[in-house]
Amino acid sequence: MAVIEVEGLRKEYRRLRGGPTLALDGLDVSVPEGGVFGFLGPNGSGKTTTIRCLLGLVRASSGRSRLLDAGPRELHTVIGRVGSMVETPQFFPNFSGRRNLELLARLDGIGRARVNETLDLVGLGSSAGSPFRTYSLGMKQRLGLAAALIKDPELLILDEPANGLDPAGIKEIRDLVRRLGSEGRTIFVSSHLLGEVQQMCDRVAILARGRLVTEGPVADVLAGGRASRLVVQVAPLEAALETLRSADLDATLDGHHILVQLPAEDAARVTEVLADARMYVSELRPEEIDLETVFLELTRSDGDATG
């Protein structure tokens, strides 16, 4: 079952000046139950607008969005099962973190013990008594996360949860999100920290200009549309390149190494060709593709196509 379903979602913001702005242009996304789902896209690609539409904060111009099988009008029937954090969380500046959280918790009849437990969980236990206005960006993020977690939700929607956190804080959030995802919950997390998403998520969707560019398990997205390549380190480089090409291998020079279009299981072919020419490889490994590379390629190509 999909816990989040978005079909043909379109959102146009009307402005008093400068004409309307198209934030979502027929977006389709389906988030299956359980695990961590990464929602990626460059600034202005429509990530936060999608989240706002899902949570009923903005009204879609057209299209359909469902959260735990509830449309925007029935959102109140499922909101108790959804924890969310949208952009930098905002609370009353003169109230302490604890008091802010208690006021929200009372809306759902959640007691003080759970408030304290959640504050400890996000590492805010000792500073929960300080006014919110004195909090650093990282502490604000943690309080926002506490507000999202306090309901013990089955679906967690997090918009840039690691924003403003230091490396240790980012790791804590990553570990927490992974743990929550492994408990059977669904975590829908938007982020621009691609390395984090790669480590944290089971599936990803990539957006560009309000449209879905690709979606699927992280491994599939990383491999998607690209032939496997081998990285070859050998000397002399130019002679080795010629040798490989003359053996009908698709080889190109890339800095101080050669890239050969071959799957990892055919690596022996490279050593054979080079060894026959009395050249011996010092390094031979499959090229590692990271999410950042794929992300940049996909979002750039989409931009080229539409721009």
In the complex, the residues that contact other proteins under the rule CB under 8 A are 13, 52, 55-59, 75-76, 79, 84, 86, 89-95, 103-104, 106-108, 144, 147
- Residue with Cβ nearer other proteins (45 or 84): 84
- Residue with Cβ nearer other proteins (90 or 306): 90
Torsion angle defined by CA atoms of residues 71, 77, 80 and 83, in that order, rounded to the nearest 10 degrees: 0
- Residue with Cβ nearer other proteins (55 or 124): 55
Burial of 199 (0-12, 13-18, 19+ CB in 10 A): middle
- Residue with Cβ nearer other proteins (89 or 169): 89
Q: What minimum distance in Å lies between the beta carbon of 31 and other proteins?
A: 18
Q: What minimum distance in Å lies between the beta carbon of 128 and other proteins?
A: 17
Nearest to 190 by CA among 155, 164, 162, 221: 162
Running DSSP on this structure, what letter comes out for residue 283? E
Q: What minimum distance in Å lies between the beta carbon of 57 and other proteins?
A: 4
Q: What minimum distance in Å lies between the beta carbon of 269 and other proteins?
A: 56
Dist. CA 274–CA 287, nearest whole Å: 19
> Edge to edge, what strands does the sheet with 21-32 contain?
21-32, 2-13, 62-67
Report long-range pairs for 43-46 (Cβ below 8 Å, ≥24 apart). 43/192, 45/207, 45/208, 45/209, 45/210, 45/299, 46/11, 46/207, 46/209, 46/210
- Residue with Cβ nearer other proteins (23 or 294): 23
Q: What minimum distance in Å lies between the beta carbon of 3 and other proteins?
A: 16
